[in-house]
């Protein structure tokens, strides 16, 4: 009898202890559940959706290279980027970056959504040149709020179209930008080309990238810049607007061909690497 009671008394004590442990665990679980409902995770997906308010990707490593890197970009959605530049560059295996004014997609003489999609599918970056190409520094009636929406809304449009690779890469219209604007738009951009001209040293300062416009310079001059970037192992951002014989913002096709032939040959012999802005800022 003595043993019987002692045995069952022990079981009752163990059962009681288990109940207490179970209650504590349950309370702890409810507590953690309540906590997670009140404080949802702060990370959010930036891969889809039309209304993205989350921060743009920022690399947590320095952008370095042991050889020159070149980006070939085009401003303002000119239709000749698709008809002239794209096929010529495709033949050489070169990918470019389009800085598009998102409100002008599909406009007269401008790149259509389908054309941009085709270029995106081939690995081009489709990037941010604001919603309406306003001067962020001196546009009439410009406010901090308008600056932010010009950049944020354009980025959201690119993401809504599915062009996530490049949506965070920014280029200010008229090459006008300052530190205050960079501060305002920082949550929505990964990189920014500035009004600065010239070549860039590694490690790159992604939000202060200098760039060189082909403008009306002959190919020999542009090629001399490329040679300098190779010699000094620098980053060169070369930009055009349109490709065509008209002059002005149109760079002559045969001269454009000379430049990209030279770039492709230098990439083949290992002197440089051609990267889109997305590839550049993601260390790809």
Tell me which residues touch Zn ion (CB under 5 A). 75-76, 173
The distance of closest approach from Cβ of residue 169 to Zn ion in the complex, given in angstroms and rounded to an integer, is 14
**Per the structure block, which two tokens stand in for 249?**
């913002």
The distance of closest approach from Cβ of residue 147 to Zn ion in the complex, given in angstroms and rounded to an integer, is 16
CB 45 within 8 A of CB 77: no
The distance of closest approach from Cβ of residue 249 to Zn ion in the complex, given in angstroms and rounded to an integer, is 9
SS3 30: helix
215: left (phi over 0), alpha (psi -120 to 50) or beta: left
Q: Please tell me the distance from the alpha carbon of residue 191 to that of residue 128, in angstroms, as a whole number.
A: 10
**Nearer CB in complex with Zn ion: 78/219:** 78
The distance of closest approach from Cβ of residue 216 to Zn ion in the complex, given in angstroms and rounded to an integer, is 17
**Nearer CB in complex with Zn ion: 166/173:** 173
As to burial, measured by CB atoms within 10 angstroms (0-12 exposed, 13-18 middle, 19+ buried), residue 268 is: exposed
Q: What is the CA radius of gyration of the chain?
A: 27
Q: Please tell me the distance from the alpha carbon of residue 205 to that of residue 201, in angstroms, as a whole number.
A: 9
CA 106 to chain CA mean position, Å: 22
238 CB contacts (<8 Å, ≥6 apart)? 70, 71, 72, 73, 211, 212, 213, 214, 222, 225, 226, 259
Q: Which residue is nearest to Zn ion (CB)?
A: 75
**Nearer CB in complex with Zn ion: 90/175:** 175
The distance of closest approach from Cβ of residue 133 to Zn ion in the complex, given in angstroms and rounded to an integer, is 6
The distance of closest approach from Cβ of residue 241 to Zn ion in the complex, given in angstroms and rounded to an integer, is 7
**Nearer CB in complex with Zn ion: 78/168:** 78
**Nearer CB in complex with Zn ion: 96/173:** 173
Q: Please tell me the distance from the alpha carbon of residue 283 to that of residue 191, in angstroms, as a whole number.
A: 12
**Nearer CB in complex with Zn ion: 118/175:** 175
């Amino acid at each position: 009898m003595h043993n019987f009671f002692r045995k069952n008394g022990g079981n009752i004590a163990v059962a009681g202890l288990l109940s207490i442990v179970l209650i504590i665990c349950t309370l702890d679980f409810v507590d953690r559940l309540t906590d997670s409902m009140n404080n949802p995770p702060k990370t959010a997906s930036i891969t889809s959706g039309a209304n993205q308010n989350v921060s743009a990707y920022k690399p947590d490593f320095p952008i370095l290279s042991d050889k020159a890197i070149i980006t070939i970009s085009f401003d303002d959605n000119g239709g000749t980027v698709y008809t002239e530049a794209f096929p010529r560059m495709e033949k050489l295996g070169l990918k470019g970056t389009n800085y598009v004014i998102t409100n002008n997609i599909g406009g007269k003489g401008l790149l259509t959504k389908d054309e941009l999609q085709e270029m995106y599918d081939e690995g081009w970056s489709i990037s941010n040149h604001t919603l309406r190409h306003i001067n962020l520094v001196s546009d009439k009636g410009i406010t901090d709020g308008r600056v932010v929406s010009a950049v944020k809304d354009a980025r959201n449009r690119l993401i809504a179209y599915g062009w996530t690779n490049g949506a965070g890469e920014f280029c200010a219209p008229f090459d006008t930008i300052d530190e205050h604007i960079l501060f305002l738009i920082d949550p929505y951009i990964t990189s920014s080309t500035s009004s600065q001209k010239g070549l860039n040293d590694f490690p790159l300062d992604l939000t202060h990238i200098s760039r060189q416009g082909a403008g009306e310079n002959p190919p020999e001059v542009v090629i001399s810049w490329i040679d300098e970037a190779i010699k000094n192992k620098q980053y060169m951002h070369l930009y055009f607007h349109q490709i065509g014989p008209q002059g002005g913002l149109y760079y002559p096709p045969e001269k454009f061909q000379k430049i990209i032939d030279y770039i492709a040959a230098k990439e083949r012999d290992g002197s440089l690497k051609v990267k889109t802005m997305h590839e550049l800022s993601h260390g790809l």
